[in-house]
Chain A
Amino acid sequence: NAGVMQNPRHLVRRRGQEARLRCSPMKGHSHVYWYRQLPEEGLKFMVYLQKENIIDESGMPKERFSAEFPKEGPSILRIQQVVRGDSAAYFCASSPNRANSPLHFGNGTRLTVT
C-alpha cells in the first residue's frame, strides 16, 4: 500500500517563477492537508482540502498561494511569483474520511528559490 506521494522531491525556482507541488494521497484517503516547514522550525498548517473542496485555508498566505484537490488526480499547491522567503519544505498529509484517523505524511518537496 503506497504511502503519500509527493513530487518533485526537490524544486529550484528563480524569483518570480511559479512553483507547482503535487501530492497523491494514500489509497482510500479523501482528505489532504498541506504544511510548510521552514529550516529549524516546526510544521505550520496551510490548507485542508477534500475532493473538489477547500475546507480550511486559514494558514495560507492571502496572495500568490493557491491549492486544489480535483476529482481526478493529485492535489496541487501552487505558488506564483516565488520569493526567497518561500524556500522551505512543503509536506502533504492525508487521512481517510473516518473519525479519529491519524495523518500520514509524504516525504515533502524542498523548494529553493534563488
Chain B
Amino acid sequence: DGGITQSPKYLFRKEGQNVTLSCEQNLNHDAMYWYRQDPGQGLRLIYYSQIVNDFQKGDIAEGYSVSREKKESFPLTVTSAQKNPTAFYLCASTTPGTGGRDYGYTFGSGTRLTVV
C-alpha cells in the first residue's frame, strides 16, 4: 500500500542536541511538507519542497533544516537553535500544481518529540 512513513513515533532529545526526523513516501508525489502541531493548536508550516533539490521556508522555519536529495525522502532536522522543540511533527505529500485538488494531502502518522 502506498503511503507516508514517519519514524520514530516517539523521540526524546536532550537539550542542546540536534535530532533528525524521518519522512519517506512511496506515492510518487513531488511535493512534501513539514508541519508542527502544539497541544490544542492547528498545524504550522515549517518547510516545504515542490521538487527534488529545492525547498522553501514556511512560517516557522527558524531552528529547523531540511534536505530533499531524493523524491521519496524529506528529513527534518531540529537543531539546538530551536528554542521550544517539544511538539508533534507531521509530514505530508501531494501532487504539485494541483495543490492536492485531485486527491488532497496525504499525511504521515507523526513523530512526537520531547526535549528532556
Q: Tell me whether A and B are bound partners.
A: no
